[in-house]
Amino acid sequence: MRQLLLATRNAHKTREFTEILRDEFHVSDLVEAQNIPEIKETGRTFAENAIAKAVNLSRAVVDLVVGEDSGLEVDALDGAPGIRSARYAGENATARDNIEKLLRALARSDPDRTRRSARFRCVLALARGGKLLGTFEGLIGGIIVDPPRGENGFGYDPVFAPDGFDKTFAELPAEVKNRISHRAQAIRALRARLPALQRGDQGLAGGGGGPGGWGPGAAGAPGPAALI
């Protein structure tokens, strides 16, 4: 079974990867590799952060490495919290802290609740041996609900109802979320390209399945990121 190392210590994200990829890969993360430091998210976009994580970590291990960055973009807040989603209420913020700040900001900017459209965006970067093999993007639109609802999921899931559903991500069963979510879309795009690795890295060169993919050496691709 192929090994796939995720450049994260977020157990929720690792679980979603494992559930979606099932028995095709042995998925591990940095919780199982305590001697490997995480990489700071210093990029200006989800793609820059994902690429920096994957490329830099892949220089230290022999496995395929997936870097991931994702977040919530709210139209009434001009795309915030965006790349700051995990740290919206501060560096050590909890999910509850972030949600409370989000709802306060929306109450100020959209008191009539007429502009609650939002989207979750996820970008994955695949690398090996310090070489970027491709990027993959997933996106799902929806609305922000208040008050939060549901006990499942993590992050902003209790306040995000995806288009076509009257339930939030936190109210939907995991199998439904794993079929429609932004991360599920990106993972499926990555999985569709992975067989090309059996024919050599050139099969993945030139970017991934989502829009705005980066290829090795693409203009604007970020250099090494600082290690924590």
Given the candidates 3.90.950.10, 3.40.47.10, 3.30.540.10, 1.10.10.10, the CATH classification of the domain at 2-203 is 3.90.950.10
The token duo for 219 is 């203009």
Nearest 5°: the CA angle 121, 10, 23 is: 85
Decide: 98 and 105 in contact? Cβ < 8 Å. Answer: no
DSSP string for residues in 14-36: HHHHHHHHTTSEEEE-GGG-TTS
Residue-wise DSSP of 118-140? EEEEEEEEEEETTEEEEEEEEEE
Backbone angles phi, psi at 63, to 5 degrees: -80, 165
The pair of structure tokens assigned to 84 is 């700051």
pLDDT of the chain, 228 residues: tens digit per residue: 788 999 999 999 999 999 998 888 899 999 877 677 768 888 999 999 999 999 999 999 888 999 999 999 999 999 999 999 999 999 999 999 999 999 999 999 999 999 999 999 999 999 999 999 999 999 999 999 999 999 999 999 999 999 999 999 999 999 999 999 999 999 999 999 887 765 555 445 444 444 333 333 333 333 333 232
| 75 in active site | no
One-letter amino acid for residue 89 of the chain: A
> Which tokens sit at 90?
């501060």
What confidence score (pLDDT) does residue 36 get? 79
- Catalytic one among 69, 78, 112, 201? 69
- Continuous segment of H or E residues that includes residue 143: strand 131-144
